Amino acid sequence: MSRCLLTEPIHPEGIARLQAAGLEVVELAAAERGPLAAALPGSAAVITRLLGLTAEEIAGARDLRVIGKHGVGYDMIDVAAATRRGIPVIFTPGANARSVAEAALAFLLALARDLVPADRALRAGDAAYKKRARPRELAGLTLGIVGYGATGRTLAGLAGCLGLEVAVWARPTRAEAIAADGHRWAGELDVLLAEADAVSLHLPLTPETRGLISADRLAGMKPGALLINTSRGGLVDETALAAALAEGRLGGAGLDDLTAPMAEPGSPLLAAPNCLVSPHTAASTDGALKAMSLACVEQVLAVLDGRRPAHLAEPAVWPEGAPAPRPPG
């Protein structure tokens, strides 16, 4: 019986589907590197959420045939190392789009309406807060969306229904789709940042996007603007963001993912005013977890069954028409 190793829990329906297909399902007792390395030998498949796999772990997994990423971003997996061994890495774009878009919208509403400082003021007995409060209505504001994949596109639709003007920075090849959806394509990121009342990031973390929202770009944002990041913390210069919030140059930030140092208690970002954070739970609704689980499992089963999966992190590992995956080159 082939074994599928889970580095973290997945939805029960995904586990049931693996078992129905005849796989032994083993879940790590702790999502840590040591237990993972010990459990990899003998595993034909691995499904991971946040732990990922390093090049050394992939090299030591002699029986591994497929790596499944439960979600969209696969920066925690050494795809190049897997590709060199001819191991497909699959992922699940679109499965959590609605959930993450709703989370971004929730951040936007909470920040625009000043819900965080209002809550703190009332709890602290600050009766004067009402006189200085200046919450904003969303209608008529410009929302800049950075990235127009499934999540960015879903958020754009939701925002349009609330009367926001939506401008999008994405690849030029997406310009036609953006216009067809009734939104405006922004040709330059710096132009978008300068004019948007709120900016929401929806990009994967890659060498090209790491630090994309730099100190200079934060300085170029509209004074009082809001920044929302439900993607990866590494997209943003978080030290510069903390400073911009502390100095009042930005109006607030809603962050669903922080880099490890910034997630530590007492970090400058967690201490910054009007900074609303969550521990990467934007995609943790039951519906999204079920959809990601099943989408991941079906692709893992396809690879084990000799069928090319729908979403490959590196398509060259399994050329179209090829009967099986193989190392490129």
CA distance 61 to 40: 5
Query: What pLDDT does 294 receive?
Result: 98
Q: Note whether 107 and 201 are same-domain residues.
A: yes
CA distance 154 to 168: 12
Q: Note whether 79 and 219 are same-domain residues.
A: no
Q: Is residue 326 part of a domain?
A: no
Query: What pLDDT does 329 receive?
Result: 77
Query: What pLDDT does 113 receive?
Result: 95
Looking at this protein, which amino acid is placed at residue 205? Answer: L
Q: Note whether 106 and 155 are same-domain residues.
A: yes
CA distance 218 to 8: 35
Say how many CA atoms lie within 13 Å of 105 toward its Cβ.
Answer: 21
Q: Note whether 40 and 90 are same-domain residues.
A: yes
How sure is the predictor about 155, in pLDDT bands with cuts at 50, 70 and 90? very high
Q: Which domain holds residue 47?
A: 3-94+286-317
Q: Is residue 328 part of a domain?
A: no
Once rounded to an integer, what is the mean pLDDT over residues 166-184? 96
Q: Note whether 156 and 15 are same-domain residues.
A: no
Query: What pLDDT does 166 receive?
Result: 98
CA distance 15 to 1: 15
CA distance 31 to 50: 9
Looking at this protein, which amino acid is placed at residue 204? Answer: P
Give me the count of residues in the chain. Answer: 329
Local structure of residue 141 (DSSP, 8 states)? P
**Residue 328 CA, distance from chain mean position:** 28
Per-chain mean pLDDT for the chain: 96
Q: Note whether 129 and 228 are same-domain residues.
A: yes
Q: Note whether 137 and 53 are same-domain residues.
A: no
Q: Note whether 48 and 162 are same-domain residues.
A: no
Q: Note whether 227 and 246 are same-domain residues.
A: yes
Q: Note whether 147 and 263 are same-domain residues.
A: yes
* Total count of domains within the chain: 2
pTM above threshold 0.75: yes
- The answer to whether residue 1 scores a pLDDT higher than 90 is no
Q: Is residue 159 part of a domain?
A: yes
Helices of type H across 8-132: 12-20, 33-39, 55-60, 79-84, 97-112, 115-123, 129-132
- The answer to whether residue 218 scores a pLDDT higher than 90 is yes
Q: Is residue 324 part of a domain?
A: no
Q: Note whether 89 and 104 are same-domain residues.
A: no
Local structure of residue 271 (DSSP, 8 states)? T
Q: Is residue 327 part of a domain?
A: no
For strand 142-146 and strand 45-48, is the pairing parallel, antiparallel, or unpaired? unpaired
Q: Note whether 290 and 241 are same-domain residues.
A: no
Looking at this protein, which amino acid is placed at residue 300? Answer: V
Q: Is residue 329 part of a domain?
A: no
Local structure of residue 272 (DSSP, 8 states)? S
* Contact between residue 47 and residue 298 where contact means Cβ atoms under 8 Å apart: no
Q: Is residue 325 part of a domain?
A: no
Taking only the tens place, the pLDDT of each residue in 14-38 is 999 999 999 999 999 999 999 999 9
Taking only the tens place, the pLDDT of each residue in 259-306 is 999 999 999 999 998 999 999 999 999 999 999 999 999 999 999 999
- The answer to whether residue 168 scores a pLDDT higher than 90 is yes
- Residue 291: CATH number of its domain: 3.40.50.720
* Contact between residue 313 and residue 33 where contact means Cβ atoms under 8 Å apart: no
Ordered DSSP codes for 64-87: --EEEESSS--TTB-HHHHHHTT-
Q: Is residue 136 part of a domain?
A: yes
Query: What pLDDT does 138 receive?
Result: 96
